[in-house]
Amino acid sequence: MSMKFHHKDLETCHTASGLVIVIDVLRAFSHAAYAFSRGAKEIILVSTVEEALTLKSEISNSKAMGEVGGLPPAGFDFGNSPTQILEEDLTGLTLIQRTGAGTQGAVRCVNADAMLAASYVVADATVKYVLKIAPSEITFVITGGFNNDEDVSCAEYLERLFKGQKPDIKPFVRRVYDSKDAEQHLDPNQPEFPESDLDYCTQISRFNFSMPITRNKNRLTMQAIKP
């Protein structure tokens, strides 16, 4: 069976139907995967800081994570950096995530029949999960925009995996480091954007779980599902 692939961005993803893969490499959906690896139970995706803080106050054993302009807003427990979450024990926590790109893409995909969050660190598991569903078409949502090559490259990498190819990972990793969003991580004058995040976000298929998103009464909940 040959699949058809489509690409949308934040401005057009509301038109996507069928199976949708929402991509954010730097850094929301890489960060989410590391949070799951540290024991998080689930991640609720929201659009605004206010929503995140309200849900944090309403849901027991929860914390807010994410960013505005790359940095954690007041009242958030964690930012958007895999480096900063690696030593945290998140066992059993519900995390509420708000970011400027990744979570916006998920929230805006109002017509998706099935949806997954994806990044390089969950690439293989994402493909395995989707192949079990066997859709005829897949829409990739490039949340960073088509000018930010890290998300475009990830979509192209996933597409090759869906086609049964085994691409060399090096050029894809290089595209992340060369991307516009990587610049602040390579700037020593911006320590709040650790360079090590680029390494963590390009550890391809580090984790053996995918991150499907379910919608229940307009609440979007992401979980880590092993094949």
At 227, the amino acid letter reads P
Whether the Cβ atoms of residue 178 and residue 149 lie closer than 8 Å to each other: yes
**Percentage of the chain lying above the pLDDT 70 cut:** 100
Q: How far apart are CA 146 and CA 167, in angstroms?
A: 21
Task: List, for residues 168-189, the tens digit of each pLDDT value.
Answer: 999 999 999 999 999 999 999 9
Other CB atoms within 10 Å distance of the CB of residue 157: 23
- For residue 134 the two structure tokens come to 């066997």
pLDDT recorded at residue 1: 58
Cis-peptide into 27, omega within 30 deg: yes
Residue with tokens 């991640």: 43
Q: How far apart are CA 160 and CA 148, in angstroms?
A: 19
Task: List, for residues 70-99, the tens digit of each pLDDT value.
Answer: 999 999 999 999 999 999 999 999 999 999
Other CB atoms within 10 Å distance of the CB of residue 155: 21
Residue with tokens 């229940």: 216
- Region at 121 (left for phi over 0; alpha for psi -120 to 50; beta for the rest): alpha
Q: How far apart are CA 183 and CA 190, in angstroms?
A: 10
Whether the Cβ atoms of residue 32 and residue 225 lie closer than 8 Å to each other: no
pLDDT recorded at residue 149: 96
Task: List, for residues 34-50, the tens digit of each pLDDT value.
Answer: 999 999 999 999 999 99
pLDDT recorded at residue 227: 81
CA dist 196 to 85, 89, 114, 122, 140, Å? 12, 20, 32, 18, 26
Task: Report all structural domains of the chain as residue ranges with CATH numbers, in order of start.
Answer: 4-222 (3.90.1560.10)
